[in-house]
Structure 1
Amino acid sequence: MESRWGDLVIFDYELNFPDAAPLELELYSLGLMRAPEVLLGDTVPLGIPRRPGILDVEAGRHDAWLADVAEASGSLAWARVLRTRFEAILAGLRRGLDCWEQTDGPLPELDLLVGPLLDLMALHTLNWVLPLDTYTRHFADLLGDPELGRQCLLAQLTPAAPAHMVDFHAYVLTSAQAATDGADLTALAQALSEEIGYLQQQGMAEVPLERPREASSFLQRVAAGHADGGIEGELAALLTAQQRSRRRRDSLYAAALLAASTDAVRFDRTNAMAIVCRVAAEEEEQRKILQQRALRAVRQIGERVGIDASGATLAQLGAAVTRARGAQEPEGQDELAGIPAGGQRS
């Protein structure tokens, strides 16, 4: 995804997502542009977009940004701000999605969805900007063992909530069990298609489980595959595995805190690293869910305003929404006025 050519660092998301729609790619590259502001409060955009999914960043700017993140990442104050900001972004995006998923009434402003979505996409950079080698050495030094240090780091990167695909699997199993027990299959299939079906596959295109008839057939197949029982045991095994991971995470964290307890600086640094790791882990899982939910919303927005969102950019979608809103907006107001061509909101 990232390559360096002389004084230029090129981020190419097309390599990771060769079949993605332009708008999907744009969410990654514009999110990356916003990362300095979301992570550090630095309002200067990172790089210049070449096309959706490809961002050119001056190497000096790129390296300075990584150094600034590395320096901040051991600060307890920064970690707490990051956690608070992450929670606010999630809340804002859920509100925006709720507004756009209501099909009755006038069209809302697109920025209610796009603004917090780009903020969340900025946080995908936590996957690779954190100085995890430094974190590992810190935990290893505290615990007196390099392998324990590595295990402690990996444990702190365990999300508090179930992984999104584990949650998806558990939802399907629970629904299949309910169908076996006599619950209304039609209602179960409708709920699955609306609430979680979009997670079947990454991307903007509609997936089979978003269609109630397909969801009904799928639940019947799952139930038939467990005709001799076993769903409850499978669900219990998933829960046990999650509980075991959390206990391991908490016990290693407690051991690291205890080892650092006589040194206030090391204690705060340990706290900071644990918070940052957990935000990174939660971001990954929550983003996968909300990103897919947002892509479903974008596809539906396109249908409402008469544009094929699978081939559109954010600007094109915004223009179509503006036209559809018509008299709802003051004359001359651009639906994406808050998101100029670099993805930065004023």
Structure 2
Amino acid sequence: MGNNIESSEKVSFGKVATSEDTHEVSATGAFVRQDNYFITPFGDGEGELPVEAGRYRLIWTSLCPWATRQIIALKLLGLEDVISVGKVSPIRTENGWEFSLDPKGVDPVLGIRYLPEIYARTDAAYEGRATVPAVIDVKTGKVVNNDYHRLTNYWETVWKPFHKQGAPDLYPEELRKEIDELNVILFHDVNNGVYKAGFAQSQEEYEKAYDILFNRLDWLEERLGQGRYLFGEKLTDSDIRLYVTIARFDVAYYFSHKTNRNRIADYDNLWNYAKDLYTIPAFKEATDFDAIKRGYLLGQHSHNPYDILPLGPDTSNWNEPNNREEKFGKSRISSIAKTGR
């Protein structure tokens, strides 16, 4: 895992926050996620971020679902040689995300130890948390986009000139309205739904989030009984967004976020769907179950004062056969699953 530097003291980054508790709880005890601040789109329009190979660095951690879905998209589309990638430790320190996986604990391109450094350098008035994913303009050394809501859509559309040959169309024009509508549902009820349950500070808000989450998972279980993916035989952006949450569910959220009505493994369609996606190299290579477990269950944000890491669950079952081809026939992306190309 590289050199793991222990933070011995609190470092000041101006107004940049390093804890959810600073801004993100309502008067009723509900978790209210901070808005994204750096939302300038990529494109060729006035004021947009130029689409230019080698100009940007994407910072991620294998803990974070919002960041992991960027890596899955980059791998599926073949953009890894176009967008450089930096990685922070899955265990967030009191000083924020740390580049402790790199030699000497410093990002080799940006020259920083903690992600909040570059947020503070970008905008001295910024008061939110320094979040991942973060896209840095290497030319200016500043954060230009942390809008996880739209980032995968930019990789899928305006970055298309740099896609590898045969890359899947994850955001087809004829489905974009339906994909966008489903993505809103997935975000509020599932992706962020687990956090609304896990970070709630009142019993009422916790139970409300818990019920919404599992009602939506039940709905998705039924939907995935009708087709191999969320939009039938077409792998889309929505599948990436759902996958990153269900990949974290049994290994972490079930315990850490108190979302314990069912495991994903208790569902027939959701579980086989998850294993099916895991056979695709882009999904599997971006999924680090050990890092996910460590990130959620160790460190100062885990409410685990003795840092005891649970031995389970056994994740070898992710490699077991799934029944999606038996139910729906051979997928049109089977070649991607087998070769990664």
For CA contacts below 8 A with separation 6 or more, give which structure has more relative contact order: 1
More helix by share: 1
TM over 0.5, shorter chain: no
| Larger-gyration structure (1/2) | 1
Interval of TM-score (by shorter of Structure 1 and Structure 2): under 0.3
Q: What TM-score comes out, normalization by structure 2 length?
A: 0.26
